[in-house]
Amino acid sequence: MTVSTLTKVGNSMAVLLPKTLRQEACIEPDAPLRLDSPRKGVVVITAVYDDSADRLTRLREAEERIVSRKTRAPWPQGKTADDLLREGKERGAREIASL
């Protein structure tokens, strides 16, 4: 999770997106962005891409990033698949609750 603050810019407010977050989200400089607020305290920023060829390129790049990050850790001693699934669900629930 990345934390940032609002900065006053003229009569508006700005949020700076750190480089690592922009890279992870594949948001290029000058990319058009859609801003939505589905509920109080939540802002969703989505890059807007119209070109299907560009979308295919971005999907391939995302796939390459995912494959390059994928590492196989040894199976934890004394854990079953059910234990690992339960831990993952609990971790996800804690992340959601912290929002």
Q: For the chain, how many structural domains are there in total?
A: 1
- Residue 84's closest CA among 75, 72, 93? 75
Q: What is the CATH number of the domain that holds 59?
A: 2.10.260.10
Stated as kind and residue range, the H or E segment containing 43 is strand 42-47
pLDDT in tens, the chain (99 residues): 778 888 999 999 998 888 888 888 888 888 889 999 999 989 999 888 766 667 788 788 888 888 887 777 778 889 999 999 999 899 888 888 877
Residues whose CB falls within 8 Å of the CB of residue 99, separated by 6 or more in sequence, listed in order: 42
- Residue span of the structural domain in which 65 resides: 1-72
Map residue 10 onto helix, strand or coil: coil
Residue 95 in any domain: the answer is no
Phi, psi of 29 (to 5 degrees): -60, 145
**What's the CA gap between 6 and 71, in Å, rounded?**
36
